[in-house]
Chains A and B, each alone.
Chain A
């Protein structure tokens, strides 16, 4: 199982196999501000990175968050 999808599944309460790049807060009922921040904190911890304020605030889809990882040379 892909680690990124597992984290998404755990924080947003969706089956990891349903995780898609194009998903937005509208598609995921549990994607509220608080859960999103907890999710970001977990991503930072798991991949040992620190996202910038712009990255955190401008991410509109799961794919945007994943791109923050790939731009650091990480394969999520």
Chain B
């Protein structure tokens, strides 16, 4: 597992070259292409919040780079996030050796992100131990690319303040992007939404328990579960816990949907279905239930039932249940179409 993300600056963390364009001229606004760089910085900050060490290795005048890090109002990453920096006109491979030494980590635990193919080729040639991913050419692809690399292990940000920070940034970028579309469906399609569904995901227990406690609106049965209870359900043959995490071109929403399914009954019964209010109208609950219906069909079931208990706040869940589970059941043949959402399974 990798420990350290080493980053270039110009055209990697912001658009343009600060030495030529100046601090006012680099692309880091809410409009494209700046929005892609802001999203990328937030995705990097999410890594930092999960314990990944950040460092800089760039060819710039130090004062130009520091001015951006210290004063640009849209920089998500600030000077204190970086454990070490080599901002100079020296050989980047030599810089990398020095960073490894200063941070006291192996070159084989470092990942180098640079938009310049020449720099990447040089690094691979000089220091084959360093991982040098082939960063996409289009900055709009940077964030999905980083999130799909899978080099830094799993881990979940559960700190509320940090989750709120991620949400402020990514939701703002989405809202800004949405203004450029007349049609909500076209906007959703442009997001490149990917829902990753897992079953009995033990490493995410703490976030799953947190979701059961905090979710009020889209929640079929308001009942906080402890980590121990959820773990017991995961280990029992009578239950399955399905969960999903969502990401799009602006970032990672984290774990946002959960279903507890009792598979000891016929028909299978969804004992609890809940979804974070961050992802209303993304079709995520449809995606997760679609997967449950598919598994139920494979297990020889013809229907799936759902438990619902009305609360003063859970009308969104009620609407969903009434729509797809009339009379409390849903046929396994039901198609829950969400054409803008790609669903992946473990």
- Map CB proximity to A onto B60-101 as digits: 1 under 8 Å, 0 otherwise: 000000000000011110000000000000000000000000
Looking at A5-13, A16-24, A48-56, the stretch in contact with chain B turns out to be: A48-56
Once A34-B277, A52-B73 are accepted as A-B contacts, the answer to whether A57 and B165 lie under 8 Å apart by CB is yes
Main secondary structure of the interface of B (DSSP, over half): helix
Within 8 A of B (CB), among A11-51: 33-34, 36-37, 40-41, 50
- Map CB proximity to A onto B272-286 as digits: 1 under 8 Å, 0 otherwise: 000001100000000
Return chain B residues, CB-CB under 8 Å to A41. Answer: 175
Q: Which of B73, B164, B167, B175 contacts A54 (CB 8 A)?
A: B73
Q: Which single residue of chain A is at the shortest CB-CB distance from B171?
A: A37
CB distance from B284 to the nearest CB of A (A): 16
Return chain B residues, CB-CB under 8 Å to A57. Answer: 165, 168-169
B30 within 8 A of A: yes
A33 touches B167 (CB 8 A): yes
Return chain B residues, CB-CB under 8 Å to A33. Answer: 164, 167-168
> Interface size for chain A: under 10, 10 to 19, 20 to 34, or 35 or more residues?
10 to 19
Return chain B residues, CB-CB under 8 Å to A56. Answer: 168, 172
Alpha-carbon gap, A56 to B76, bound state (A): 12
- Map CB proximity to A onto B6-35 as digits: 1 under 8 Å, 0 otherwise: 000000000000000000000001100000
> Interface size for chain B: under 10, 10 to 19, 20 to 34, or 35 or more residues?
10 to 19
Alpha-carbon gap, A57 to B165, bound state (A): 7
Within 8 A of A (CB), among B245-285: 277-278
CB distance from B35 to the nearest CB of A (A): 11
**Given A34-B277, A37-B172, A55-B73, list of 18 further CB < 8 A pairs?**
A33-B164, A34-B171, A34-B278, A36-B168, A37-B168, A37-B175, A40-B172, A41-B175, A50-B29, A50-B30, A52-B73, A52-B74, A53-B38, A53-B73, A53-B76, A53-B168, A53-B172, A56-B172
Can you list 14 A-B pairs with a CB-CB distance of less than 8 A? A34-B171, A34-B278, A37-B167, A37-B172, A37-B175, A50-B29, A50-B30, A53-B38, A53-B75, A54-B73, A55-B73, A56-B172, A57-B165, A57-B168
Give residues in A with beta carbon < 8 Å to B.
Answer: 33-34, 36-37, 40-41, 50, 52-57
